Amino acid sequence: MVRSGQGLPQDLPDRDVSWDQPAPELQPGPRPNAAGLALPRLKALVAALGEPPFRAGQIYHGLYRMRWTSWAQFSNLSKALRARLEAEVALDWPLIRESAHSEDGSTKHAFLLADGALVEGVHMPYGKRTTLCLSSQVGCAMGCTFCATGLMGIKRNLTAGEIAGQVVTMLNEHGHGPDEAVNLVFMGMGEPLHNLDNLMEAFALLSDPAGLGISPKRVTLSTSGLVSGIQRLGALKPRPRLALSLNATTDEYRSRIMPVNRVWNLDALAAALAAFPLETGERITLEYVLLQGVTDSLEDGKRLAAFAQRFPSKVNLIPFNPHEGSGFEPPTEARIVELCGLLSAKGITVSVRRSRGQDVAGACGQLVRERRS
């Protein structure tokens, strides 16, 4: 199975991909769910209950500023209203079904959703700074062949509440205060640009100073290269920062491991990124997974540099995190050092990102996949 030194793998399956269709949405339950509703929707909810409009603001404050998870905690509401909400309105944040703690301090959580689906989020403390890795979909339509989530296919989009709820649940679980700075990265399960509407609804809740209060500059969305989504995102303001999961430097190989490249090749992708409107000082992050004997040659390094120089960017080299059945191996340390030197010499900012939680099924989709199998 190991393809070290074999060049292009010949036996990767053609996965069924369907990103050009909207992903299914969660079917509403018998009771409305307040968790994840924006203020206008909360106003409509309280109006339907015959309550005055200011109640919506109180509920919004409790949900997103206080991160309360049960109606009993809403001390800013009357006892009678709390009892009524308990009976008539759900407050379903994602629940932690299982957690795996890594020796490096990160914790991977499998979240149980209202319909029984499972998605993953990772809490990664780095000194004083914490990063939360979030999922955007149940499964994924993009079919990247190196990815455990890609094996599942697309099940459905996460709702705005399920996206923001991963943050609420992890911040509560790990005891973060309301004004602690955290970074959010959409690098978990799913292609975030395939669920952009719900993601932007969640982004508004996450970045609202009266809500979760996370700076938009601390939120990064990573795409596999869905150019139509990149163009849509570029027209929005405020918006998350953009990262691209690049992983290959030739169309031939990228089309094999990331089927989206068959529609938008590297040239089309670079053109879309060059046209993406950036703020002063903002750069697009290029994530490049190093697979031994497959994507880690010095020629790859030169092509990667040429791609990165077409727009303001920085490069994250990610040594592959092996998982059962992947068929790939991580690069040698010597090759990582050589590639860093090559990119730096061409004036490119480069960093090496070690996958956190390698000892706890760290790559996206692995915990859920192991749980399901």
Binding residues (CB under 6 A) for ligand SF4: these are: 140, 142-144, 147, 149-150, 189-191, 224, 245, 364
For residues 294 and 364, which CB has a smaller minimum distance to ligand SF4 in the complex?
A: 364
Give me the helices (H) in 174-243, please.
Answer: 196-207, 227-234
Tell me how far the alpha carbon of residue 335 is from its chain's centroid.
28
Three-state DSSP class for residue 346:
coil
> Smallest distance, Å, CB 244 to ligand SF4?
11
Angle at which helix 298-308 crosses helix 333-345, to 10 degrees, equals: 40
CA distance 56 to 53: 6
> Smallest distance, Å, CB 151 to ligand SF4?
8
Tell me how far the alpha carbon of residue 359 is from its chain's centroid.
20
> Smallest distance, Å, CB 159 to ligand SF4?
18
181 HSE (CA, 13 A, CB side):
8
> Smallest distance, Å, CB 138 to ligand SF4?
11
> Smallest distance, Å, CB 284 to ligand SF4?
17
> Smallest distance, Å, CB 239 to ligand SF4?
19
For residues 134 and 189, which CB has a smaller minimum distance to ligand SF4 in the complex?
A: 189
CA distance 167 to 207: 12
Angle at which helix 160-173 crosses helix 196-207, to 10 degrees, equals: 40
Three-state DSSP class for residue 360:
helix
For residues 170 and 226, which CB has a smaller minimum distance to ligand SF4 in the complex?
A: 226
Bridge partners (DSSP) of residue 286 are: 244, 315
User: Residues 167, 200: contact at Cβ < 8 Å?
Assistant: no
CA distance 312 to 309: 7
Pairing of the two strands 107-112 and 137-139: unpaired
For residues 26 and 246, which CB has a smaller minimum distance to ligand SF4 in the complex?
A: 246
> Smallest distance, Å, CB 246 to ligand SF4?
11
For residues 169 and 222, which CB has a smaller minimum distance to ligand SF4 in the complex?
A: 222
DSSP 40-107: HHHHHHHHHTT--THHHHHHHIIIIIS---SGGG-TTS-HHHHHHHHHH-B--PPEEEEEEE-TTS-E
For residues 63 and 118, which CB has a smaller minimum distance to ligand SF4 in the complex?
A: 118
For residues 64 and 186, which CB has a smaller minimum distance to ligand SF4 in the complex?
A: 186
Residues in contact with 4: Cβ distance below 8 Å, sequence separation at least 6, in sequence order: 292, 293, 294, 329
Q: Which residues are catalytic?
A: 120, 364
